[in-house]
Amino acid sequence: MAESKKLGERLIDAGLITRDALLQALDLQKQSPKLRIGDCLLAHRLISEQALLRFLAADFQTRYVSAEKLSKVKISPEVLDRVPVRFAEAQGLVPILFDAERRALSVVMAEPQNAAAVAELKVVANLSEVFVFVSTRAAVNAAIKKVYYGDPTAFDEVELCAAANPDVAVAAANPVEGSSGDTPLLTSAVVDGSTGMKVEPLQKAPREARAISVPGSLSPSGVRQAADLMRRSWLASDNDFIETLHVLIGQLEMRRNDAFRAHSAAVAKHSRTIAQRLGLEHRTVNHVTVAAYLHDLGKDPQRHTTLLSTAEKEDWKLEAGRCAKAPIRLFESVHLPAEVSSILDHVYEAYDGLGIPRGVAADAIPAGARILAAVDSYEDLTKNEQNFFGRALAKQEALRCIRERVGTLFDPAVVDLLMQVHTGELLRTRLLSEGRQVLVCHADEGTRTDLRDSLSRLGLISNATLSSEGIYDALRSGEADLYIAEVTPPVEEALLVVASLRQEPATVGLPVILLASKADSGLQDRVSALRPAELFAGEVDPDQVAARAKALLDDRLASGAPGRPVSGMLDEMALEDLLLCVAQSKRSGRLLVRDADRHSEILLEKGRVVHAACGQAVGEAAFDQIAEMEVADFILDPNFLILEPQMDKDVEVLLCESLSRRRARPPQAPQ
């Protein structure tokens, strides 16, 4: 109580409340001892949320987040996984952002002064730093309920509570925006905040702790056991190994010149994209990615050999024959998967059978090797000034060079996707669809292709899998926002996959469309129990299924579900074209642009630039520096919440002004 009075007295001294107001709040606190004085003041509307939070933020030297802003925050499962829900409830905090490089976690708390909770959080989540922002207790509790339990009505219930009992109303019912600092608070996420499913009250066990039954088939415990058995039989995630390769190979390639130093990372990224678009299994996509990172190890750094260079010059072909197995030998002790070794062993095989080392052709060449050969050749043509031409080619010239060798050196399907990647067509579609992706699982190749074509015509990116193997890993790793699957005997297998998804926070609200050749009322009831899931029975109409898929995704976006971050490289789409695409679609979020030396960002609100930072520069000066970047990768995260815009500029106008400023600069003296 003494601490409460101390806060109350300080609020009086600050002129934010009167003595009578404090007495009223203290009376309420006597009736409800668990409430803090700030909660009581808000409950009686004796102080506004903005005024109280602004005062607390200044007092604790931090930032504040209003209830309205906190209700819009969308948090990734990776962030939520760092803090167990019971710990979050016990300490009254919700994690919002994790910086892996610094091992720093940003959290929102009702009591940021609770040093013991912060210290315990560091141990629980294995952190180096914790950044604490302040909000009201009601807002924090509602946020926990929304992000951990998937309750889309969590903040509505706060308002309903206020309406039902005015004496215990909270300020979140009438949120006021504001901030006490000058730097924007940014938060990101990919968890669905609106599942449309009935969620149990907070005091009950979390959704992930409750078993889900499939009516008419397995018991709740049976579903849990069967799901666990299926998961153990599937390939474990390779994400950690791939990320380790990304770091290690990146460090090794720092010795190369600027244009070619990130070669393997670029090859891995584009190879992975093409493998997914070809419909390869999730595990095969990972094998292609690993092979792409390893393909240059142990080879002569002064002569980068590719399938194209071996076909053009005999001495390069002899060199490739000598060094082809170098990456495999280097990794003999770690027992690379056989599929990875096979990709590396066939990377110089030509589509017409005239390559090395075995002269196999077409589909006899592993799909991963066909992908890697085309991507590696393109990257070599455009970025390596020591390639067999003796110069780096412009994008269109390089694409023409690749296209002319379709059917002899390169797989036509792979080259078609390579063209989509490097003309910006694929990236533009991803940006306009807010990064949404559909995973299609159907055994019939014709049906699978028709479904993907119909989805593409509606502006949706789709990946495919040939069987149920790998579905769980693909969905858990965030590679799909909607799942289309065929229901075939035994029916339980398809339903079991969906039931297991409903037990995971990241996929509990994932829409599912199931396709069955015929269905009875029993199957319909079982599918309905796994909602959001829909059943299409009879002959598949690809256009009808695609239209329903788009409608479901549009509904999720309209209800506040997050968009998907879209990443790429500036060699796929120039920064100017990228910004214009974002502006024309009136997108919001943070565009993070990273080259070898700098991390820069441009913040956009409904297609307008509201902030830019590059090194120490901010605003238009920073934008000018970013606009000059040509070799960099980027990620557009639509789920960043910007509290305080620092500028407000039309993208097209800003690009024109930036170009004028850069042209007006005096030429630099030669070094």
646-661: per-residue pLDDT in tens?
A: 788 898 999 998 888 8
Angle of helix 491-501 versus helix 220-233 axis, rounded to 10: 90
State the DSSP string of 561-587.
PPPPPEEEETTTS-HHHHHHHHHHTT-
**Residue 600: pLDDT over 70:** yes
User: Which residue, 608, 639, 231, is CA-closest to 435?
Assistant: 639
When pLDDT is cut at 50, 70 and 90, the band that residue 351 belongs to is very high
**Residue 217: pLDDT over 60:** no
**Residue 493: pLDDT over 80:** no
- pLDDT digits over 431-478, tens only? 887 778 888 888 788 888 889 889 888 888 887 776 555 676 667 666
Q: What is the mean pLDDT of residues 145-173?
A: 53
Determine contact, residues 40/28, Cβ cutoff 8 Å: yes
Say which DSSP state 128 is in.
S
Model pLDDT, residue 230: 41
Q: How many helices (H) and strands (E) does the chain have?
A: 30, 15
Model pLDDT, residue 228: 47
Model pLDDT, residue 158: 54
Widest CA span of the chain, in angstroms? 93
Model pLDDT, residue 94: 92
Phi/psi-derived region of residue 537, left when phi > 0, alpha when psi is between -120 and 50, beta in every other case:
beta
Determine contact, residues 151/199, Cβ cutoff 8 Å: yes
State the Cα–Cα distance between residues 474 and 471, nearest whole angstrom.
5
Tell me the three state secondary structure of residue 165: coil
Tell me the three state secondary structure of residue 517: coil
Give the range among 144-158, 190-204, 363-377 with minimum mean pLDDT. 190-204
Q: Which residue has the higher pLDDT, 669 or 638?
A: 638
Determine contact, residues 365/351, Cβ cutoff 8 Å: yes
Q: Walk me through the domains of the chain, giving residue ranges and CATH numbers.
A: 48-189 (3.30.300.160), 220-234+429-558 (3.40.50.2300), 239-384 (1.10.3210.10), 566-663 (no CATH)
Tell me the three state secondary structure of residue 3: helix
Model pLDDT, residue 377: 94
Give the range among 245-259, 365-379, 444-458 with minimum mean pLDDT. 245-259
**Residue 178: pLDDT over 70:** no
When pLDDT is cut at 50, 70 and 90, the band that residue 237 belongs to is very low
Model pLDDT, residue 238: 59
Angle of helix 49-60 versus helix 2-13 axis, rounded to 10: 100
Tell me the three state secondary structure of residue 539: coil
Q: Return the percentage of the chain with pLDDT > 90, whole number.
A: 12
**Residue 168: pLDDT over 60:** no
Give the range among 226-235, 420-429, 440-449, 596-605 with minimum mean pLDDT. 226-235
The mean pLDDT of the chain is 77
**Number of residues that this document lists for the chain:** 671
Model pLDDT, residue 562: 65
**Does the pTM exceed 0.75?**
no
Q: What is the mean pLDDT of residues 417-426?
A: 87
Model pLDDT, residue 1: 40
> Beta partners for 99?
104
Say which DSSP state 536 is in.
E
- Is the preceding omega at residue 532 within 30 degrees of 0, hence cis? yes
- Is the preceding omega at residue 357 within 30 degrees of 0, hence cis? yes
When pLDDT is cut at 50, 70 and 90, the band that residue 242 belongs to is confident
**Residue 342: pLDDT over 80:** yes
| Helix, strand, coil share of the chain (percent; to 5) | 50, 10, 40
When pLDDT is cut at 50, 70 and 90, the band that residue 420 belongs to is confident
Model pLDDT, residue 171: 30
Model pLDDT, residue 163: 32
State the Cα–Cα distance between residues 367 and 276, nearest whole angstrom.
11
Q: What is the mean pLDDT of residues 500-504?
A: 74
**Residue 530: pLDDT over 50:** yes
- pLDDT digits over 534-591, tens only? 888 888 899 999 999 899 888 877 766 667 788 888 888 888 999 998 888 888 888 9
**Distances in whole angstroms, Cα of residue 389 to Cα of each of 186, 192, 392, 401, 583:** 46, 50, 8, 11, 39
Model pLDDT, residue 467: 56
Q: What is the mean pLDDT of residues 369-383?
A: 93
